[in-house]
Amino acid sequence: MKNLNICIAGLGNVGSAVVGLIDKNSQYIKNKSNLTINIIGLSAKNRDKERNFNVTNYKWIENPIDLLNINDSKPDILIELIGYEKGVSYELVKTALSQKIHVVTGNKAMLAMHGQELFRIAEQNQVSLLFEAAVAGGIPIIKTLKNNIFLNKIKKISGILNGTTNYILTTMETQNKSFKDVLHDAKKRGFTSDNESKLDIGGYDAAHKLTLLSTIAFGGNVDFNLNKVEGIEKITIEDINFVKHLGFRIKLISESFLIDDMICSSTKPKLIPLDKPMANVDGALNAINVETDQLENLYLEGEGAGGLATASSILSDIFEISNNSKFTSIGYNINDLKKYQKFDSSNLESKFYLRIRVKDQPGVLSKITTYLNDSNISVEKILQTPDKKENNIPILIITHKIKTSELLNSVNKISDLEFVNKNISIIPIE
């Protein structure tokens, strides 16, 4: 029987779920893996907070850094679930790795911003820094990329990587509620918080995750700043209803692919055709599609957040370490990682959805059409929708493929026309 001593820093939903899973399944773990997991120390902000287990059954450590030396003994594994890019979580992980202690974390912000440094420290000290829980909760995407399809050349990775934004967009559509109202509801349900919501709805949480996936998928030293990030704050119930009528749904899509020695990486709202699987991913679910040279499309969908789903990923990493896996933390030696430059996404071509509100007067649609033609914007579909509640009306446009830069230049000119409302909605189409 193998003994594994672990300590846990951070006892929110995920940390508490980890303790509960180990506690309730200790005998099953012993029978299945011949492993005894001993929790030798816990640390969190509030010891007295109500949790799903009895805190008094475990050794409580006030200062997280002291978890690394309990009764003159080091743990085998540190589980870091504090969160945040810097501060105590970063110092704790860095110190643990330097002391040859394995680390399992769900902290995507820290790894997206400081991963290269921390992976290097782990490699130098011959320990693992594993992070299955950092991306897509219960979907085993990290192990899939790192271990299971490593012989495939990955062409593109894309997906819905933030459950909160997907829940908001889904609920706006199904309950015909405003963004503001659904965000308030999401906070009440615990999907996000005041501190987290800016990262969620601004697209940064998903972009952090995409940075990690891109690093593994393309074997590159991918800097977070290579991402182009746009959130869902500007998405209106009006647009959601309009695009559904046109055969689309709006999703916050993160995608990354290579063009020569450059990487094009973005997180932004996109229109997904209703016949595509990702258009039908509802609620807080996540979905990831990996395009490869051998498997073509590998599609994964499942719980992207939640205590139990994410805790199961933590346990998976613990078992990987206990089995003395030969895989590195990211599937590559740090010195072998390629350095990619940022591709200017404004040079990419795409179809676009435009919603232009104009004054309700004769000849406006003709003027807009003429202006689009003069601007070399080829229109696939155009609709004028009456709106009796307003003294202006929406014109809906689906363009043919056009460079982003050319479209934006033309839209800026259109917004200056005296009969046009300046708040033009622009969303690319998958």
Output the tens digit of pLDDT for each of the chain's 430 residues. Answer: 789 999 999 998 889 999 999 999 989 888 888 899 999 999 999 998 888 888 999 999 999 999 999 888 899 999 999 988 889 999 999 999 999 999 999 999 999 999 999 999 999 999 999 999 999 888 999 999 988 787 788 999 999 999 999 999 999 999 999 999 998 888 887 777 777 788 999 999 999 999 999 999 999 988 888 899 999 999 999 999 999 989 999 999 999 999 988 999 999 999 999 999 999 999 989 999 999 988 888 999 998 767 788 899 999 999 999 987 666 788 888 888 898 889 988 888 999 999 998 888 888 888 888 888 887 889 999 888 776 566 778 899 999 999 998 898 888 888 888 888 878 999 999 9
Q: Which of 72, 157, 132 is closest to 330 using CA atoms?
A: 132
Instruction: State how far the Cα of 250 lies from the Cα of 279, in Å rounded to an integer.
Output: 8
Instruction: State how far the Cα of 127 lies from the Cα of 21, in Å rounded to an integer.
Output: 24
For residue 206 the two structure tokens come to 């998903």
- CA triple 111-39-12, angle to 5 deg: 50
Considering Cα of 297, then 302, then 304, then 307, what sign does the dihedral take? negative
372's CB contacts (< 8 A; 6+ apart) are 379, 397, 410, 414
Q: Which of 304, 309, 306, 311 is closest to 17 using CA atoms?
A: 311
- Residue 161 has a pLDDT of 96
Is the CB of residue 334 less than 8 Å from the CB of residue 123?
Answer: yes
- pTM confidence score: 0.92
Q: What share of the chain is helix, strand, coil (3-state, %, to 5)?
A: 40, 25, 30
Q: Which amino acid is at 373?
A: N
What are the extents of the domains in the chain? 2-130, 141-303+337-343, 346-429
Considering Cα of 53, then 54, then 55, then 58, what sign does the dihedral take? negative
Instruction: State how far the Cα of 197 lies from the Cα of 243, in Å rounded to an integer.
Output: 25
- Residue 62 has a pLDDT of 95
Instruction: State how far the Cα of 248 lies from the Cα of 263, in Å rounded to an integer.
Output: 27
Rg (CA), the chain: 24
Active site residue 209: yes
Instruction: State how far the Cα of 174 lies from the Cα of 178, in Å rounded to an integer.
Output: 11
Instruction: State how far the Cα of 273 lies from the Cα of 428, in Å rounded to an integer.
Output: 12
- CATH number for domain 346-429, candidates 3.40.190.10, 1.20.1050.40, 3.30.70.1050, 3.30.70.260: 3.30.70.260
- Residue 390 has a pLDDT of 65
C-alpha atoms less than 13 angstroms from C-alpha of 37 in its C-beta half-sphere: 30
For residue 337 the two structure tokens come to 């990682």
> Distance from CA of residue 99 to its chain's centroid?
30
**Assigned CATH topology for domain 2-130:** Rossmann fold (3.40.50)
Dihedral pair phi/psi, residue 406, rounded to 5°: -70, -40
Considering Cα of 396, then 397, then 398, then 401, what sign does the dihedral take? negative
For residue 1 the two structure tokens come to 């029987």
Dihedral pair phi/psi, residue 174, rounded to 5°: -75, -30
Neighbours of 363 (CB within 10 A): 9
**Assigned CATH topology for domain 141-303+337-343:** Dihydrodipicolinate Reductase; domain 2 (3.30.360)
Residue in 209, 251, 268, 270 annotated catalytic: 209
Is the CB of residue 79 less than 8 Å from the CB of residue 39?
Answer: no
- The H or E element that residue 158 is part of is strand 154-160
Instruction: State how far the Cα of 46 lies from the Cα of 49, in Å rounded to an integer.
Output: 6
For the chain, the straight-line distance linking the first and the last C-alpha, in angstroms and rounded, comes to: 52
- With both helix axes pointing from N to C terminus, report the angle between 179-188 and 194-201 in degrees, rounded to the nearest 10: 130
- Residue 326 has a pLDDT of 64
Instruction: State how far the Cα of 334 lies from the Cα of 328, in Å rounded to an integer.
Output: 9
- The DSSP 8-state label assigned to residue 226 in this structure reads G
Instruction: State how far the Cα of 201 lies from the Cα of 204, in Å rounded to an integer.
Output: 8
